[in-house]
Amino acid sequence: MLNNIKFISADEAVKVVKSGDHIHLSSVASAPKVLIDALMRRGDAGELKDVRIHHLHTEGGAPYTDAKYEGIFFHQAFFVGGNVRKSVQAGYADYIPIFLSETQKLYRSGVLPCNVAMIQVSPPDKHGFVSLGTSVDATLAAIECAEHVIAVVNKNVPRAWGDAMIPTSMIDYFVECDGLLEPAHFTAPDEIESAIGKNCAELIEDGACLQMGIGAIPNAVLAQLGNHKNLGIHTEMFADGVLPLVEKGIINGANKVIDKGKMVSTFLMGSQTCYDFIDDNPMVRMMDVAYTNDPFIIAKNPRVTAINSALQVDITGQVCADSLGTKFFSGVGGQVDFIYGASLSERGKAIIAMPSVTNKGISKIAPVLTSGAGVVTTRNHIHWFVTEYGAVNLYGKSLQERAKLIISIAHPEHREELDKAAFERFGPHYHFVG
């Protein structure tokens, strides 16, 4: 017993799951491993069939996507993370294309049922509140809508403030387990990523409110912001890269209009240091994704600068960020929410930044997207486009002007062939575009 809470074992708790149920798991570092393992034991015992599992990206294992659970568990991801990528590509798991801002709406509107929400929380405080820590995102909506809520109470879950704080009365079953949260692993930016970081940093004004997407680029950008002033954070996720800038007072939220002086996010993906940073930190508000990712809320702050990455961009500015041809690699996530929000913000800048070539030397800028590739950010939404060779603003530019600008920052070895393709596509006038 802790603060009048009665703990039961994970095996007992997952008995509430029935065949045909939809389960939501809290995200990223907060995936409730002990409950997942107990659920797999019920699967192994042949007690369940056709159970659907939903979540954003999670760190750690995703055993329910294993081929041996065919007909028992079926994962329908809201974002294809590294641990489910192979299974999605092989057809043992699936993906629901959905803007991150609307993942919560799937539950709240009843489009997706949530029978059981499985979450991790910090131990209850003297007021009977626990914190969802690193995963508020669609998890709060799942808790509100679920028939049953099972929470792992874990002293390693940071006591994050904001919407993350919920009363214990929202939870039906408590399981105690103090496992460390899964850390995310990052490598130091290489030469190309650093050049991209520098080109992005030149676009970031003092007083900007930043959102950084997922992938290798965000840390490379943050590493270049040591001489900036009065930066703010309103994002869907952040990682360790922001911490030195907070320590130096460069990130202080002073120029924000909403959540002045606070950093706002909906999930976190970082090292233990990052999780410790949000623990009982009044500067950080971990909020519902309906708030963090609403483009019209994002746009309330001035100079919102959103930096997201891409897998492929065509010469008209169509951005593919979720698939390599027909093979799903990730998802739309919050890219469009923030690209659009930044473009609506006063002096905002929406940036797509990527290396010009892959690690195998293939041009990521292509005359047309690979067959089957999905458009995440449309050619109507794209504004700034950055590679290691520079930054170009495509907003208000014609198709032929865009092609010239995009090709001007392609890898030099690929510029000629891209130019030839543009000429073939657009015709004789292309030669005269300035």
Return residues touching ligand COA (CB under 6 A): 213-216, 236-237, 308-312, 321-322, 324, 329-330, 333-335, 358-359, 362, 364
Residue closer to ligand COA, measured from CB, 273 or 358: 358
Q: Is 107 within 8 Å of 71 (Cβ atoms)?
A: no
Q: Is 11 within 8 Å of 118 (Cβ atoms)?
A: no
The strand pairing partners of 311, in sequence order, are: none
Q: What's the CA gap between 121 and 202, in Å, rounded?
A: 40
Which residues, including other chains, have CB under 8 Å from residue 46's CB and lie 6 or more apart? none
Active-site residues, by number, are 236
Q: Least CB distance from residue 124 to ligand COA, whole Å?
A: 31
Residue closer to ligand COA, measured from CB, 278 or 320: 320
Q: Is 265 within 8 Å of 238 (Cβ atoms)?
A: yes
Residue closer to ligand COA, measured from CB, 364 or 397: 364
Q: What's the CA gap between 257 and 240, in Å, rounded?
A: 25
Q: Least CB distance from residue 367 to ligand COA, whole Å?
A: 13
Q: Least CB distance from residue 176 to ligand COA, whole Å?
A: 32
Q: Least CB distance from residue 171 to ligand COA, whole Å?
A: 28
Q: Least CB distance from residue 371 to ligand COA, whole Å?
A: 12
Instruction: Look at residues 231, 217, 151, 152 and name the one whose alpha carbon lies nearest to residue 186.
Output: 217
Q: Least CB distance from residue 10 to ligand COA, whole Å?
A: 30
The H or E element spanning position 414 is helix 412-426
Beta-sheet strand order (sheet of 161-162)? 161-162, 284-286, 263-265, 232-234, 209-212, 304-308, 349-353, 384-387, 390-393
Which two three-digit tokens encode residue 298? 């994002």
Residue that the structure tokens 């809508």 belong to: 145
Q: What's the CA gap between 268 and 212, in Å, rounded?
A: 12
Q: Least CB distance from residue 303 to ligand COA, whole Å?
A: 19
Residue closer to ligand COA, measured from CB, 34 or 422: 422
Q: One-letter amino acid identity for 42? A: R
Measure Cα distances from 160 to 83, 142, 285 in Å.
Answer: 26, 18, 7
Measure Cα distances from 274 to 88, 236, 244 in Å.
Answer: 30, 15, 11
Which two three-digit tokens encode residue 278? 């949000």
